[in-house]
Amino acid sequence: MKLCVNPACPNPENPDHAHRCQACGSKLLLRDRYQVNQALGQGGFGATFVASDISLPGTPTCVIKQLRPVATSERVLEMSRELFKREAKTLGKIGNHPQVPRLLDYFEIEDDFYLVQEYVNGSTLKQEVKRTGPFTELGVRQFLTEILPVVQYLHDHRVIHRDIKPANIIRRTIDHKLVLIDFGAVKDHVSQTMALNSSEQTALTSFAIGTPGFAPPEQMALRPVYASDIYALGVTSIYLLTGKSPSHLGYDATTGEICWRQNIQVSSKLMGVLERMLEVSVRRRYQSANDVLRALNAEFNSEGFAQGMATMAKSTLLQPEEPTDIEAEGGGRTEMSRLAEAIRARKSKLSSSRLPSSGTRNRSMMTKSPTTAMEGKGASAAKVNSSAKWDANSVKTAYVKGRRDFAGLDLSLLDLAGADLREAILHQAKLVKTNFTNADLSNANLGRASLNQASLRDADLTKAYMSYANLEGADMRGANLTEAYLSHANLRGANLCGANLTGARVSDEQLALAKTNWLTVKPNGKRGLF
């Protein structure tokens, strides 16, 4: 189906063979190359469509924005044109960033303005929350860590986005990266400052004020600054944690603050970061995206190791014999031996903290199922259901929303090629014939996992914990197994040609059962056959 983009057309839908609209006679091919296929919606001054560029091989998909103001006064039309040109100018200036849509074309046809952008295939964070529920604390921290550098990039180019919200952030399907879209309300900080006394400029600023609730007070008062985007990111984080927009959370009548604290359960560290991002007073708010990143790193770097110990302690609670094999040869204290010591200390602490007041041991802790024992802090609030059916997309979505615990799940035959699963807990998981080609499994816990005939070709398994894992017949060609822990893993028939085993904990007897070649790097760092 072809669509007519004439705003006055009574019936814009046309058959594929049509060259002109059957209802109004308008040409259906814009600039003799863009075929409009689908309407995405209409905003304050423009309509958005999905189109195909038939002039290029493969007819790639693109997004076309058409100037289409709701009002008809000459003043509003002029302001709309200025906004449209400003968006094109901004995209042309910042569109080289991989997480910002590229500007592909900009043209005018009979007083109608068109802007052509790169098409980003994926779901907005608003759609994601509505479909799968709120994010975990870890998911929000991961969101901020990824999106803040993008916002800093805009600010470094003297651009204030002014409309950051979940509906304007897309998680790209191909690589799960966040992409910031809709630059229709952007403000060029330099040109706006230079024209501060211009009534025309003031009217234009007022026309693109942003989204109420997500925009801070100074932006609503027509004085946006870089820190205004920080406030919008804070409100977006609250939405991701609660699934509620600011209007549903309410406001404090005295301070003007959003009433959000009672609606979330996060650590005091993240609470402190969010509080400063959401300061009503712009002077007390973080002044830049880099300031927020530094605060996140300062708050959470020290606790990251402790959380990792807690998770590892839970995942090994029922396997006390495994850590004893991590001790360094000759009595030396390696990183793994220190890890084992920390795990044992954590286990001791967990046991003592669960003793009832009567002094008798809480036997329920000792009889927990492996699945219950391995639910970590970063896991979903719902209990792990090993009988639930998982597909590749649900695993990736759960991971990017903060879940790390997939212990005991049956993920066999899934296509997880290229997936980012760093530090994932896959202890005792069924991963038979699962495709992990080019996946990032660094620091993952794959202890006792069933990886028979799995494809781990070119996968990053740096420092992965794979004790007692069944890797029989697994394709591990070119895999990076640097400092991986493979003690007691079954490597019978595993293909390790070209794999890097530098510093890996694996015995010669294990490797004798695997396939190797002259490109395989031995644990001692040298190449050659075993």
Give the residue numbers annotated as catalytic, written as ranges.
163
CA distance 29 to 507: 66
Structure tokens, 199: 């009534």
Contact 347, 313 (CB under 8 A): yes
DSSP structure string for 134-192? PPPHHHHHHHHHHHHHHHHHHHHTTEE----SGGGEEEETTT--EEE---TT-EEHHHH
Would the CA dihedral through 59, 60, 61, 67 be positive or negative? negative
The per-residue DSSP string of 62-92 comes to: EEEEEE--S---HHHHHHHHHHHHHHHHHHH
61-71 burial: b if 16+ Cβ within 10 Å, else e: ebbbbbbbbee
Rounded to 5 degrees, what are φ and ψ at 510? -65, -45
Q: Locate 235 and state its tokens.
A: 């409100």
Orientation angle between helical segments 137-156 and 226-242, nearest 10 degrees: 160
Burial class (CB in 10 A: 0-12, 13-18, 19+), 193: exposed
- Distance, in Å, from the CA atom of 328 to the CA atom of 433, rounded to the nearest integer, reads 33
